[in-house]
Structure 1
Amino acid sequence: MKFDRLESIVNIINRGGSVTVADLAEELSVSRETIRKDLDSLAEQKKIGRVHGGAYSLEYDEKVPYTTRDKMLNPEKNQMANFTSSLIEDGSTVFFDSSSTSIRVLKRLIADDKKITVITNSVECITLTIQSQTLTLYTAGGFLGRDSLSFSTEFIDDYNRYNADYAILSPSGVDIKCGITDKDPNESRVRETFMRRSKKTFLIMDHTKIGTIAPFAIGNLSQIDGIITDSINNPTLWNDIAEKYSIFFKETGA
């Protein structure tokens, strides 16, 4: 009985990307306390990721549709977006990748009434910018990925025409040894270009991405200026790394 329930929970989470304790308890007709224990057990087995009030799929990256990714880790993303907005001056030019986290940063900047120039391959960022009367938009276009809601790198060289004050990126992983990496070959090229063409690069990455290594290299830690995350298991180690590479490391949930 419990084994079947655990298997069902994993399937539900992988199918939807994330789920709340309350929704699981209702769907499986068990108590919330039972679901909490089940989620803790599955998280210990590294079959899912655990957050307060729910859980998420470990396939949390651009392979998961944007509409699903946008629902994951909402409080954590909002905390990171709030802090990131405070770093960006009014009148700046900013690269935004197609991650749901970067989109959350743009929403915060709009809410803070920052008048910025947006350069992006993200359809959602384009939509948000068009709806605003105070933002300027540049994009290169290309082939549209319907799940990721981003343009592919058909015209990647066009982005080399632009320079920006900041690059706001949330790739698949960052690791002390392997640096900044991504699971998508097209997005990795866009992010590498954004990073190279900006004065400052901030990685806004929730705890699931810290210490993760993905197949496609983007760059190394010496090429960025800061990492903003919600929480981390080994902050002392990462603070030492930040000092080594002269970057800052911020835990918004700490």
Structure 2
Amino acid sequence: MYLSPRHAEIIQMAKDHGRVLVDDLANHFNVTPQTIRKDLNDLCDQRLLSRIHGGALFPSGIENMEYEARRKIAADEKEAIGRAAARLIPDNASLFINIGTTTESVSKALLDHNGLMVITNNINVANRMRIYPSIEVVIAGGVVRGSDGGVVGEAAVDFIRQFKVDYAVIGASAIDHDGALLDFDFREVKVAQAIIANA
């Protein structure tokens, strides 16, 4: 696989820093942000980087880890987070729940609630909650990621925008040193942004 010198340097910078940002790269290489976005999209298409809003990440080992394996990482902590979050959500509330193993733990802790309306792009959450008659589950349409059951894409974003809810339960793949929430799939970032805007 041939990489231009700029592409090779972008990959090295992402490896060194964990992530790269469009504006920083545009300044560094003295090119337009549009040129950098095209570079990042090309590198992500080759699976050398993972796109995030405003930049790209160097792929980490957790990204390649199977969803079932990620469920087992810090399982007790995820259960505790799930219980704590569920205590903040009253009966008869409406909420979004997006993709993630921690958000799944929240959904599990919500099963004893009554009168919930749960809108999700997470097939795992929908499947877990669907059998409880006191919980109405609404699932977004779109592209289903086989790796984790997340429903992503413009159809999912448009679907989410139709609702205004009381609460949002949002997961992230990582938290940067400056507190920024990161995700490996830019399509999921778009869904999360729509959720935040409508909660």
Query: What is the TM-score of this pair, normalised by structure 1?
Result: 0.51
Distance 1:119 1:74 in 2: 24
Residue 31 of structure 1 aligns with which residue? none
1:138 Cα offset (Å):
1.5
Secondary structure in structure 1 of the residue aligned to 2:73: coil
Cα offsets for 1:132-176 (capped at 9, x unmatched): 111112122112111111112140212111111111111123346
Equivalent position of 1:70 in the other structure: 71
Shift of 1:117: 0.6
Could you say which residue in structure 2 is the equivalent of 1:101?
102
Residues 1-254 of structure 1 mapped to structure 2, 5 A cutoff: 59-61=61-63, 63-110=64-111, 112-155=112-155, 156-175=157-176, 177=178, 179-198=180-199
Amino acid at match of 1:60: I
In the TM superposition, what is the alpha-carbon distance from 1:119 to its structure 2 partner? 0.5
Amino acid at match of 2:183: D
Listed as ranges, the gaps of 5+ residues in structure 1 are: 1-57, 199-254
Secondary structure of the corresponding residue to residue 161 of structure 2: helix
CA RMSD of aligned residues (A): 1.8
> How far 1:67 moved relative to its partner?
1.6
- Following TM superposition, the consecutive aligned residue runs of length 4 or more in structure 1 with deviations greater than 6 angstroms are none
- Answer 1 or 2: which has greater helix percent: 2
TM-score w.r.t. length of structure 2 = 0.64
Contact 2:123 2:139 in 1 (8 A): no
Kindly tell me: are residues 73 and 177 of structure 1, through their superposed partners in 2, closer, same or farther at Cα, counting changes over 3 Å? closer
Secondary structure in 1 aligned to 2:130? helix
Report the residue type matching 1:140 in the other structure. Answer: A
Structure with larger RCO (C-alpha < 8 A, sep 6+): 2
Structure 2 gaps of 5+ residues are: 1-59
Give 3-state SS (helix, strand or coil) of 1:161's partner.
coil
Structure (1/2) with the larger strand percentage: 1
1:176 and 1:126 map into 2 onto residues whose CA distance is: 32
Give me the whole-angstrom Cα distance separating, in 1, the residues matched to 2:85 and 2:114: 12
Aligned positions, number: 139
Q: Note if contact 1:97-1:120 (Cα within 8 Å) is conserved in structure 2.
A: yes
Q: Distance in 2 between matches of 1:64 and 1:94?
A: 28
Distance 2:172 2:80 in 1: 18
Shift in CA distance, 80/131, structure 1 to aligned 2, threshold 3 Å: same
Q: Alpha-carbon deviation of 1:178?
A: 6.0
Q: 2:68 corresponds to which letter in structure 1?
A: T
Partners of 1:91 and 1:59 lie apart in 2 by: 40
Contact 2:118-2:135 at 8 Å conserved across structures? yes
Task: Return the alpha-carbon distance in structure 1 between the equivalents of residues 91 and 169 of structure 2.
Answer: 15
For 1:132, what is the secondary structure of its paired residue?
coil
